[in-house]
Structure 1
Amino acid sequence: MVRTVRPLLPLLLAPLLLAPLLLTACGSEPGQPRDTDAPAAELVTRARALGIAPELVYVIEAPGFALARQSVGVYGGDGFSATYVSRQEGGQLRLYVDRGTMSASDCATGQQTCESDGEGVWYRSGRGTHEYAVVKEDHVVRLEGDAGVSRDVLREAARDARRPSGEEVAELLPSAPADGAAPSEPVERGDLPPAGDGAPRNDVDAGG
């Protein structure tokens, strides 16, 4: 079954690549929310206004990669998707969070290789990409990278994926309209990465 990614271009009012707040670094800072923490009130309000389940909104950190804000959108029914790009290398990391789980048979579906890399952590590759899938209590966090992205970078970013902090929520998701209507102003595009524009892919099936 093909999952549908719905980008939120009309809702985004900031430049393509975020300021250093969401520029990636190694490791999580003390006090940042964990994926086991309840979503903050502002995250709940903004995510629900877009049709995204608040508990499925995540951010990642990877050296040299920054969020392409116009890529943020709904994945599947009420899941979350976002793309991070490297302006130097032109590579992409595509983040998908959706309800469900992943077993060994799910992992192998449509892939050339599949292997366990710890409890609830799967690594697989095929079709010119590779990805890590981290199984949470009732959802799966998947991070897919281009072939040029190292497995070590992919592994660390996927395992450390977490809910956004209050400041990150303000940069990641647009404010919920007071009257319930979606903003009509188009996104102001900034400098595009040298290869691709960070748009989400629509050719990903239910298992990845």
Structure 2
Amino acid sequence: MIRAARALPPLLLAAALLTGCGTEKADPGAAKPADPAELASKAKALGMNPDLVYVTEAPGFTLAQQSVGVQGDDGFSASYADDTGAVIHLYTDHLRYAGQHPYEAKEKDCVVWLEGEGGVSGAVLAKAVRAIHRPTAGELDTLLPTPDPAFTDDQPVQRGDLSPAGDGVPDNSVPTPGL
């Protein structure tokens, strides 16, 4: 009985320590799917079909935000780079392009494929193919910018270098000092 009493406090201590494990809360937006309406609004503003927007993950690679754009007519493309200059390109398009790429995944109504450059190994591309998914709420904010409500397709871009008179050729003259 004395031995049991001596063993009991360490067991209680271990139980107390174990109950404290795993109490950290994950970022609520980390795995939450992106709001379909927000995804549609952002994608359409950039000329992309929202159903064709997918992302991936690869250890050591991060999204190059400036690479996000349209693939083909309404598909999606993005690139992920690492510190060595290696790049993984992600492309999506309609299913008619399925079966043409060594690293691809067929998703809902599209095909997503990856291409590597700068020494990206086939093993890394294969892992990245398995990680293809629709963007989460957290990823969407990084992936697609919020459209500027002031911008509309019916308003031409205002350029400061166009002459208000004449044939509209850009004014590239340089002012002469003292004149």
d(CA) in 2 for partners of 1:73, 1:82: 7
Gaps of 5+ in 2: 1-28, 158-179
Q: Are 2:138 and 1:167 equivalent residues in the alignment? A: yes
Q: Which residue of 1 aligns with 2:148?
A: 177
How does 1:97-176 map onto structure 2 within 5 Å? 97-102=92-97, 107=100, 123=102, 132-146=103-117, 148-176=119-147
TM-score (norm 2): 0.62
Q: 2:68 aligns with which of 72, 81, 105?
A: 72
Deviation string, structure 1 residues 12-44 (Cα, Å, up to 9, x no partner): xxxxxxxxxxxxxxxxx98454xxxx9622111
d(CA) in 1 for partners of 2:134, 2:122: 22
Q: How much does 1:147 deviate?
A: 6.0
Query: Residue 133 of structure 1 contacts residue 158 of structure 1 at CA under 8 Å; is this kept in 2?
Result: yes
- Higher Rg: 2
TM-score (norm 1): 0.54
The higher-RCO structure (CA 8 Å, 6+ apart) is: 1
Secondary structure in structure 1 of the residue aligned to 2:91 = strand
d(CA) in 1 for partners of 2:141, 2:104: 27
Q: Name the structure where strand makes up a greater proportion of residues.
A: 1
Equivalent residues, number? 126
| Aligned residues: CA RMSD | 2.4
Q: Percent sequence identity over matched residues?
A: 45
Q: Are 2:55 and 1:55 equivalent residues in the alignment? A: no
Query: Residue 98 of structure 1 contacts residue 141 of structure 1 at CA under 8 Å; is this kept in 2?
Result: yes
Q: How much does 1:179 deviate?
A: 3.2
d(CA) in 1 for partners of 2:126, 2:97: 17
Query: Residue 40 of structure 1 contacts residue 166 of structure 1 at CA under 8 Å; is this kept in 2?
Result: no
Query: Residue 83 of structure 1 contacts residue 94 of structure 1 at CA under 8 Å; is this kept in 2?
Result: yes
Q: Which residue of 2 aligns with 1:13?
A: none
Q: Which residue of 1 aligns with 2:89?
A: 94
Q: How much does 1:177 deviate?
A: 2.0
